[in-house]
Structure 1
């Protein structure tokens, strides 16, 4: 078990935001609503996961923050922005990229999380976690598609 799990969680929450310096204001405005939407979906999913003991996070940053917060507002939120920016409008690339990233998280980083004493899967198999990631990916893409097509009235691409 690692000595400083709170430091790791803090860094995990903050460091991804530094990458947005390279993101661009227009792209940020365009993809922000979809990333917020999917982050809210993940927050709700984590509520269900806690009740059903799908996974467990061992450490918390603060008593008023849920244990999943660093992961959601750090790599998940910022990652959703980047995935949309890099692959939106190219559905096959979007799916492939998501499968690669999600598999890396599910089959490698979950082991790292467990070794560092940050969290682990409890009643959820890795395959089921992968399926949840795919469903969220599709929801993210669909939300952006609807936003672009019916709300923004701008062309996809």
Structure 2
């Protein structure tokens, strides 16, 4: 039961953090495509990890599906929007924010999630870090393509 509450709390807290975004509608219009793209990318990775038994969740397939959904459309989606908002399109700042966040996630947070028996990843932490950091760089490239296709999104909302 504690595992369920932790997953749900992560989902709710991440969406509550959106309250602190200024001009929410404009920020969502600008960053929702990249956030959905990144969620789709991670969903494919979860599928691969699940198929090859590199990611396990206690409680079977149903718990694994719930965990994936709550993480993808909770913290992962919201943090993608936050990281793009905070970096304001500057690559080095975006890379630094993701470097710090991905290091924290790949090492202490994954270890904590294992300890609470939320889920286990059977990949070395450094390899997992490299994967999620590569995802972040891919997301930045995708956002730049979107901004070139839809130039009006380049006008960042005023704070």
TM-score (norm 1): 0.88
- Quote the residue 2:141 is aligned against: 142
Matched, 1:46 2:36: no
Give the stretch that moved more between structures: 146-155 or 77-86. Answer: 146-155
Please say which of residues 14-23 and 32-41 is displaced more in the overlay.
Answer: 14-23
* Equivalent of residue 9 in structure 1, options 4, 7, 10: 7
Describe the superposition over 1:28-58 as per-residue Cα deviations: whole angstroms up to 9, x where unpaired.
1110111011101111110001112222222
Following the alignment from structure 2 to structure 1, what is the Cα–Cα distance between the partners of residues 94 and 82? 11
Change (3 A) 1:154 1:4: closer
CA distance in 1, matches of 2:144, 2:64: 35
Alpha-carbon distance in structure 1 between the residues aligned to 2:19 and 2:45: 29
Q: What is the 5 A alignment of 1:8-157?
A: 8-23=6-21, 24-59=24-59, 65-122=65-122, 124-155=123-154
Which whole-Å CA distance do the structure 2 matches of 1:43 and 1:86 have between them?
A: 24
More helix by share: 2
Gaps of 5+ in 1: none
For 2:138 and 2:152, the matched residues in 1 are separated by 20
**Distance in 2, Cα, partners of 1:100 & 1:60:** 32
Shift of 1:10: 1.0
Is the CA contact (8 Å cut-off) linking 1:88 and 1:141 kept in structure 2?
A: no
Segments of 4+ in structure 1 off by > 6 A? none
Measured at CA, do residues 9 and 63 of structure 1 come closer, stay the same or move farther in structure 2, by a change above 3 Å?
closer
Considering only aligned residues, what root-mean-square deviation do their CA atoms show, in Å? 2.1
Deviation (angstroms), 1:62? 5.4
Conserved? CA contact 2:30–2:153, under 8 Å: no
Larger displacement relative to structure 2 (34-43 or 65-74): 65-74
